[in-house]
Amino acid sequence: MFSIGPRRGLRRAVSAVTWYDRGCALEACDPGAAAAAYQRAVAGQPDLADAHNNLGRLLHDQGDLAGAESCYRLALCAAPGVALYWFNLGVAVEDQARTAEAIAAYEQALALDATWADAHFNLARLYELRGRAAGGDLVMLQAAVRHLLGYRKLAPTATDGRARRR
C-alpha cells in the first residue's frame, strides 16, 4: 500500500488586506516595495479601492501620470462615492494638461464633499486660467471667484496662495 505521509496543515495565501497594510507601512521607507505590495493587494482583491488609489499616488510621485490616472480610475470603479479618488484623478489629468477633465473631476469631488478646500482652490485656478484665455469670459471668472471664496472660507489660515495637490 502507498502512503503519502502524515497530514499537514494547509498554508493560506497572504490576504489582499495584509498586502495593503504592508504597502502602507512601507511607503515612507521603501516606495518601490510599497508599490509592489499594493500591486499584490489589487491582484488578490481587484475591488480594493484604497490600494488602487495609493498605488496611483506612488506612480504619480514617480512621474507616471498615465499609470496614476489608470489607478485612480480603477479606484473610482470600485468606490465612485469617494471624493479623494475624484480629487486625485483631477490632479492627474490636470498634470496631463487636460483641463476640462480636471474641472469635471474636481467638481465631482466637491459634489461628494463640499468642504474640500483644495478642490475649491484648484477649481478657482483652472476657471481663472480658462476665463482669461477666453478673453475675459465672465462666467468662468465668476466661477473662479466663487471657488476662491469657498477656499478662503474653508481654509482661513492659508496665506501662501497654494493648495496641496493631493
108 Cβ contact list (under 8 Å, min separation 6): 83, 86
Check residue 156 and give its pLDDT.
64
- pLDDT tens for 98-142 read 999 999 999 999 999 999 899 999 999 998 888 877 777 777 777
Segment (H or E) for 132? helix 117-133
Q: For 161, which DSSP code?
A: S
Q: Is the pLDDT score of 95 beyond 70?
A: yes
Rounded to an integer, what distance in angstroms lies between the CA atom of residue 31 and that of residue 144? 36
> How far is residue 27's CA from residue 143's CA, in Å, rounded to a whole number?
37
164 pLDDT band, cuts 50/70/90, is very low
Rounded to 5°, angle at Cα 89 from 151 and 18? 110
More confident residue, 137 or 23: 23
What is the phi/psi pair of residue 96, to 5°?
-100, 10
- The pLDDT value recorded for residue 133 is 77
C-alpha cell at 160: 501662501
CA proximity to 41, closest of 61, 30, 65, 25: 25
Residue-wise pLDDT tens digits, 41-85: 999 999 999 999 999 999 999 999 999 999 999 999 999 999 999
